Structures are given as C-alpha cells and as structure tokens.
Structure 1
Amino acid sequence: MKDCIFCDPKNRNYVIENEYAGMLFDIHPVTKGHSLIISKRHHPTFFDVPKEEMVAMYSLLNEAKKYLDNEFHPDGYNIDVNVNPAGGQAIMHCHIHLIPRYHDGKIVFTKFPDDLSK
C-alpha cells in the first residue's frame, strides 16, 4: 500500500523474519526490546489476516520471544494487538506488539504522531 509506513521498503529491515512476517523494534518503545511482529503483506487489521499468514505471524512471535529472552532477559511479556483507531490502532497495517516486562516495572507510554495513522 502506497502510504503505509510498514509497506515502505525502507522500513523493512527486519531483525528476524519468515515468509509472511517480520520482526522490528518499535520506534516508540514502552520498554527495552519492545518489538512488532508485522505482516509482510498489507492487511489493515488483525482480523483481515488470512489463516496461513496468521500462523506465520504466531510462529515469528515465538521466535521473537526467544530472541528477546537471549538479548534482554525480561521477566515477562505483554502481547498486544490493537484493532481500529477506537481500539488504539495508530497504523492501519496488522502488527502485534511483543513487549518485554521487567521486575523494576518501568514502562513509558508515548503518544504517536497523527501522521502515523495513515
């Protein structure tokens, strides 16, 4: 999709990937290691992703967890999927947040610029 930040080739420097999904670090992390699992094909929301691609995203989610375990040693995780603007989705391209959590409890929330919601 022409105006989608996740479809732009310059934003596809994946840390790990498979056929249908890629993992990137969030540019507005709420904790150290906050990552996104992104569908490679444009699907506006989680509910628009075909089953085969969702299976690939789930598989990559597990790989990303192992990667983050090795790199950052978190104490836990949050997995978050926002659907549509009313559900908190700022970028209309399916992505899953994998957020490492640490016993120190520090979490920083950032406000997304309005221009990212296109």
Structure 2
Amino acid sequence: MPGEPPCPYCNASELRRGAFVRENDLCLLSIKPSETGALEGAGIIVPKAHRPTVFDLTPQEWAATQDLLLQAKAHLDATLAPDGYNAGWNVGEVGGQHVMHAHFHVMPRFQDEPLAGHGIRSHLKATRNRRPI
C-alpha cells in the first residue's frame, strides 16, 4: 500500500547478504551468523512470492519449504551438529509475527544451552500466560 515501508522479504538481497543461502524456484533459505551469540545457526525459509502468513502458501510452496527445510537440516547437522531443533511459524502480530511475509523459523538447539529442553510452547503454557476470566 502507498506510504507503507516495502516488505523486507520481497526483496531478498538482505536475506542473501552474509548468509548461507539455498533456494529453489519458490522459496529461499537464509541462515545468517548470530549477532548476539544466541540462536547460532538459526535461519528462515521465505516464499519468494509475498504471502502474508503460512495459511496463504500454495501446495507447491509447502513442498518447496519442505525441500529447503531438509537442506537446512543437512547443512546444520554437518556444520554445527545440534542436539535438537525448533521449527515453526509465527502468525499475526499476537502470534509473534513481526514481518508480515510468511517465514518458517529453523533453530538448532544444543544440550548446553540455558534453555535446553524448553520447546516453542513452553512460555505459552506458563500460568502467567493465563487469559483473564
């Protein structure tokens, strides 16, 4: 829309800059070095066409995402040898999506992390997250 900033994932040049990149006709995988030392090896898989959420992907984009997810795992297994993974989508602002272009997170996890064993739902299951009655 006029006046809105351009989508940072529609122009993939920033996703490619300084990153390990793999792509197919429909999606791109970007794994950048960690800027903070946390989440080393974390990456995202982005459809090349602008899709606001995972629910907007075509069946072909789902298959293309899976193809890159398997390539990401092979690369991370070979280079970092993680002990586990978190993988998933954030959808909508309330769901934690800050860029409104669908992107699949791939996060290697390690036994020696302070939060090892905490999954992607652990903070959501906390009693402090209970909705008001």
Partner of residue 83, structure 2: 75
**Which residue of the other structure, out of 4, 8, 16, is the alignment partner of 1:5?**
8
TM-score (norm 2): 0.72
TM-score by length of 1: 0.81
Match of 2:111 among 93, 103, 107: 103
Which runs of structure 2 are paired with 1:35-114 in the superposition (5 Å)? 35-106=43-114
C-alpha distance in 2, partners of 1:87/1:9?
24
C-alpha distance in structure 2 between counterparts of 1:18 and 1:76, whole Å: 25
In 2, the alpha carbon distance for the partners of 1:93 and 1:106 equals 31
Q: Would you say how many aligned residue pairs link Structure 1 and Structure 2?
A: 107
Aligned sequence identity (%)? 36
Matched, 1:19 2:22: no
The structure 1 segments of at least 4 consecutive aligned residues displaced by more than 6 Å after TM superposition are none
In structure 2, distance between residues paired with 1:87 and 1:100: 21
Name the structure where helix makes up a greater proportion of residues. Answer: 1
**TM-align CA RMSD:** 2.1
User: Can you give the 5+ residue segments of structure 2 that lack an aligned partner in the other structure?
Assistant: 116-133
Say which structure, 1 or 2, has more relative contact order (CA 8 Å, 6+ apart). 1
